[in-house]
């Protein structure tokens, strides 16, 4: 495992170049450039805040950052799963010519998604800082976002790898993933406070939702000015460990045969 990670690190200039190419291609010829990455979550936050904050009886200073942090996380999750489905197909020209660890191609997808996620989270912090009727941001608490993002990178890398391997074998994985994400969106408190469902029958769904700890890690430092609870760190760490272990096992079994299925 250590030797494999060392081989990935040796290829860092290659996969970092792929990430830069992806970003340049995405914004080439665009008037706003990277501004499009901020415009979408900002517009969705404004629309959903106007629609739902009164319905949920939430002050705008609390609800807007809460909502935007959730949307940023969901955009990242969608990018690494749906984008991960195509990671090996997008890199097959390199796979056939350049003998490198296959894991660099889902890593390419995750790093691109993380770049846009960081832009969105910076906007969340700015939004929380300027909105009225909010407690001041605690810079020490915001440091908790750094290890949370590292966990997200490993989590996203593992998901992209698993979905990429599944798509190579089963081409319908992409479509099934989009359908599953639509259902999971409403079972995850992205745009509604989790307290609304905790004391109802569907509250058990939130307790079993593996995405809940990640939302808490991202929202707590911004909304409450404190460090997330140990249970959130433990829950997120356990989810990452399970998904990462599954990704390692799947790659170990299929890496040598992968090129024959592209």
The answer to whether the Cα torsion of 134, 137, 141, 143 is positive or negative is positive
Is the pLDDT assigned to residue 41 strictly greater than 80?
A: no
Q: pTM for the full model?
A: 0.90
Q: Is residue 25 part of a domain?
A: no
- Domain containing 176 equals 37-261
In this structure, what are the phi and psi dihedrals at residue 86, rounded to the nearest 5 degrees? -105, 5
Is the pLDDT assigned to residue 18 strictly greater than 70?
A: yes
Q: Is residue 180 part of a domain?
A: yes
Q: For residues 233 and 160, what is the distance between their CA atoms, to the nearest angstrom?
A: 22
Q: For residues 25 and 90, what is the distance between their CA atoms, to the nearest angstrom?
A: 13
Q: What mean pLDDT comes out for the span 44-64? A: 79
Q: For residues 129 and 138, what is the distance between their CA atoms, to the nearest angstrom?
A: 10
133 or 258: whose pLDDT is higher? 258
Is the pLDDT assigned to residue 23 strictly greater than 90?
A: no
pLDDT for 131: 80
- 3-class SS string, 154-174: HHHHHHHHHHHHHHHHCCCHH
Q: Is residue 210 part of a domain?
A: yes
Q: Is residue 18 part of a domain?
A: no
pLDDT for 63: 84
8 A C-beta contact, residue 100 and residue 11: yes
Q: What mean pLDDT comes out for the span 52-64? A: 79
Is the pLDDT assigned to residue 31 strictly greater than 60?
A: no
Q: What is the pLDDT of residues 176-187, one digit of tens each?
A: 999 999 988 988
Domains identified in the chain, total number: 1
Q: Is residue 16 part of a domain?
A: no
Q: What mean pLDDT comes out for the span 217-230? A: 90
Among 36-40, 55-59, 83-87, 109-113, the least confident range? 36-40
pLDDT for 35: 66
pLDDT for 34: 66
Among 66-80, 162-176, 247-261, the least confident range? 247-261
Among 37-41, 152-156, 171-175, the least confident range? 37-41
Q: Is residue 26 part of a domain?
A: no
pLDDT for 29: 63
Q: Is residue 7 part of a domain?
A: no
Q: Is residue 20 part of a domain?
A: no
Q: For residues 187 and 190, what is the distance between their CA atoms, to the nearest angstrom?
A: 9
């Amino acid at each position: 495992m250590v030797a494999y990670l060392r081989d990935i690190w040796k290829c860092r200039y290659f996969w970092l170049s792929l990430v830069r190419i992806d970003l340049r291609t995405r914004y080439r010829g665009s008037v706003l450039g990277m501004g499009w990455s901020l415009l979408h979550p900002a517009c969705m936050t404004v629309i959903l805040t106007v629609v739902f904050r009164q319905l949920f009886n939430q002050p705008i200073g609390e609800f807007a950052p809460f909502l935007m942090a959730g949307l940023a996380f969901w955009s990242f999750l969608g990018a690494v799963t749906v984008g991960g489905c195509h990671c090996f197909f997008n890199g097959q020209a390199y796979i056939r010519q350049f003998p490198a660890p296959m894991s660099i191609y889902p890593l390419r997808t995750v790093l691109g998604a993380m770049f846009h996620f960081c832009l969105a989270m910076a906007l969340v912090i700015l939004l929380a800082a300027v909105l009225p009727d909010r407690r001041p941001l605690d810079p020490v608490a915001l440091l908790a976002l750094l290890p949370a993002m590292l966990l997200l990178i490993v989590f996203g890398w593992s998901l992209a790898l698993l979905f990429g391997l599944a798509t190579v074998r089963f081409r319908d994985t992409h479509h099934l993933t989009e359908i599953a994400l639509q259902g999971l969106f409403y079972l995850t408190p992205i745009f509604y406070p989790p307290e609304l469902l905790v004391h109802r029958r569907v509250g058990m769904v939130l307790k079993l939702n593996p995405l809940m700890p990640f939302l808490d890690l991202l929202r707590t430092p911004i909304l409450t000015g404190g460090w997330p609870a140990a249970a959130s760190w433990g829950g997120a760490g356990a989810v990452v460990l399970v998904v990462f272990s599954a990704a390692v096992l799947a790659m170990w079994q299929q890496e040598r045969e992968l090129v024959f299925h592209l």
